Structure 1
Amino acid sequence: MTYKTILAITERDVSADTIGKALGVSRAFDAHLTLLPIGEVPNLPFYGSGGHGYIDIWAKEFDQRKTELITLASRLEDQLTREGISFDVRPVLSSEAREDNLVARHAIYCDLAVVLRSGENGLNSIEKNAIDGALFDSGRPVLYVPNVFKSDRIGTKVAIAWNSRREAARAVSDALPFLKGAEEITLLLVDPVVGDNDHGEDPGSDIATVLARHGLGVNVQSVVSADRAVSEALLDSLRELGANLLVMGAYGHSRLRQNILGGTTREMLEQTSVPLFLSH
């Protein structure tokens, strides 16, 4: 198993350096790269709030955003053509309410969805909707790359947040192409509970055995959270390890088409400086 089609989702203000991170992942797996730059359709004015004048202003802003997106697509095509890889670029304007469906529709036809964070102050609506759509509605794993991560090396030192739950098991399986290329793998168990219904008699040993059968050696590390949140304990461990990828299950549920991320998953997305590999 490997990744041969990679979808990278970004917004219209993306930089060449940010695209370079998706390019690096694509090169690592000799994969086709599909770029999906998304521009948001401006909000329609309320009917009667200003007559045709407001409609004209909206139409002008719509045309401007469309032009900006076409210009971006052309720049991205030039950048990737120079790199000599297999790629395509699919610029699209979408309303915020439909972005998750849009991403899911494209992500279904890839092996891995990459969400590139462009800013530093929290997730914007495009990034959040892209993660929700890919995780909950496409069945594909997501590689989330924060803007503050500057290295072009992703996945050489991998940590796995292991808690013996379905989502974590799915993440480990989906991440095998990364794991097989890693120089070092560490299992992180936050406050593991010994017992048949939890981590077993020797926490971490069962999943370590599974990975060993794939030819992968792992270190098992128990993490005591003390008075820290689970997300804080994981982030501290990542810094201590010098990890450049965390594999973890993404927790949450879908409620009447509204996808709700679990607390730890949401906190990790908002606070991490290290790429996250997420599966639901």
Structure 2
Amino acid sequence: MSYKSILVHLDTSVPAHPRFEIALQLAHRFHARLTGLFSTYVPPRHAFFVMAGTAVYYAEHERLRHERAGALERQFHAELARTKIDGQWIAPEGYANDVVPQYARLTDLIVLGQTDPVDPEAFVAEQFVEHIVLSAGRPVLLVPSAGSVAPPGRHVLVAWDGSREATRAIHDALPFLAHAANVSLLRVHSPSDQSPRDRIPGADIALTIARHGVKIDVREVSVEADTPVGDALLSQASNLGCDMIVMGAYAHSRLHEVVLGGATRTMLQSMTVPVLLSR
């Protein structure tokens, strides 16, 4: 099993360039076709026309967007040629939450960037990452917005709680697990856990994955009731020297809002290494 197609979301933010480098190296590792999807925040025209003179601002915004997109597209094709990777560039028009999912569903792995509140160019749409994770039906590799991040997958931490989402995440991450030098499966116990008879032991899922040629080190930790599971995962990832976390994404839609589970919310806000999320 491998990823045969990878899609990376690109925009005009600073983290877009290292995110592209990671996607490029993953495409080389998995011999995958790479699609660069350019989508930025596009202000609605009617919002500008309510004030005199704003039509000029809209036109200037459009000009700069196309100029930056052109420069990034040239770099994208140059890197594909240099690395001899097959791929394509697409820049669909429209609101990102509407147009990105239809392309995301046609790929094996989606590479997105963590929302960066410091960089205004990183804003693409309301709850963009959450929306793609919930609607694409494909695994999403989320890259931290801060710091220098190497291509992930040397030592992978798998978060396991026996749920459908965690099971889906493990199987979606199999190409990474097969290439990893070390895989640690972590079960976090807290007083609010379900009854023991309903749990699927980590050793059982480790045996299932071992049939794919992946050796997994099973670990269990206990936390206090007031300790968020997400914090425990990040702490263990740091202690073990992991460069990637695999976990199920817990969320549901409520009208136009995506409501995240606690651990998922912690990861999206405080991640220190790339996180593969599956829903």
TM-score grouping bracket, smaller chain normalisation: 0.7 to 0.9
- Cα deviations across residues 140-160 of structure 1 (Å, max 9, x unaligned)? 010111133534341110111
Runs (4 or more) in structure 1 with deviation over 6 Å come to: none
- Pick from 186, 210, 222 the counterpart of residue 212 of structure 1: 210
* Residue number in structure 1 paired with 2:29: 28
How much has 1:47 moved relative to structure 2? 7.1
Work out the number of aligned pairs and report it.
273
Letter in 1 for 2:223: S
- Cα deviations across residues 79-100 of structure 1 (Å, max 9, x unaligned)? 3322221111113454xxx312
* Distance in 2 separating the partners of 1:121 and 1:224: 35
Does the aligned pair in 1 maintain the 2:115–2:129 contact within 8 Å?
A: no
How much has 1:63 moved relative to structure 2? 2.3
* Residue number in structure 1 paired with 2:182: 184
Taking structure 1 as reference, are residues 184 and 128 closer, same or farther at Cα in structure 2, changes over 3 Å only? farther
* Residue number in structure 2 paired with 1:276: 275
How much has 1:216 moved relative to structure 2? 1.9
* Distance in 2 separating the partners of 1:228 and 1:45: 46
Could you tell me which runs of 5 or more consecutive residues in structure 1 were left unpaired when the two chains were aligned.
none
Letter in 2 for 1:243: C
* Distance in 1 separating the partners of 2:32 and 2:147: 22
Letter in 1 for 2:37: L
Q: Please state if 1:37 is matched with 2:27.
A: no
- Cα deviations across residues 208-234 of structure 1 (Å, max 9, x unaligned)? 121122222211111222342111111
Q: Percent identity?
A: 33
Does the aligned pair in 2 maintain the 1:161–1:188 contact within 8 Å?
A: yes
Could you tell me which runs of 5 or more consecutive residues in structure 2 were left unpaired when the two chains were aligned.
none
**Over aligned residues, Cα RMSD in angstroms?**
2.4
Q: Please state if 1:111 is matched with 2:112.
A: no
How much has 1:132 moved relative to structure 2? 2.8
Taking structure 1 as reference, are residues 255 and 37 closer, same or farther at Cα in structure 2, changes over 3 Å only? same
- Cα deviations across residues 87-143 of structure 1 (Å, max 9, x unaligned)? 11113454xxx3122221111110010113484759953387442343222210101
- Cα deviations across residues 175-221 of structure 1 (Å, max 9, x unaligned)? 1111111111111111165622124xxx3121112112222221111
* Distance in 2 separating the partners of 1:18 and 1:106: 18
Describe how 1:52-131 pairs up with structure 2 within 5 A: 53-94=53-94, 98-117=95-114, 119=116, 121=118, 124-126=122-124, 129-131=127-129
Secondary structure in 2 aligned to 1:172? helix
Range moving further from structure 2, 213-222 or 179-188:
213-222
Does the aligned pair in 1 maintain the 2:139–2:169 contact within 8 Å?
A: yes
Letter in 2 for 1:18: R
Taking structure 1 as reference, are residues 45 and 38 closer, same or farther at Cα in structure 2, changes over 3 Å only? same
Letter in 2 for 1:9: H
TM-score (norm 1): 0.88
* Residue number in structure 2 paired with 1:258: 257
Taking structure 1 as reference, are residues 16 and 2 closer, same or farther at Cα in structure 2, changes over 3 Å only? same
How much has 1:10 moved relative to structure 2? 2.3
Taking structure 1 as reference, are residues 136 and 205 closer, same or farther at Cα in structure 2, changes over 3 Å only? same
How much has 1:16 moved relative to structure 2? 3.8
Taking structure 1 as reference, are residues 122 and 219 closer, same or farther at Cα in structure 2, changes over 3 Å only? farther
- Cα deviations across residues 37-85 of structure 1 (Å, max 9, x unaligned)? 212213446477433x222322222222222222222222223322221
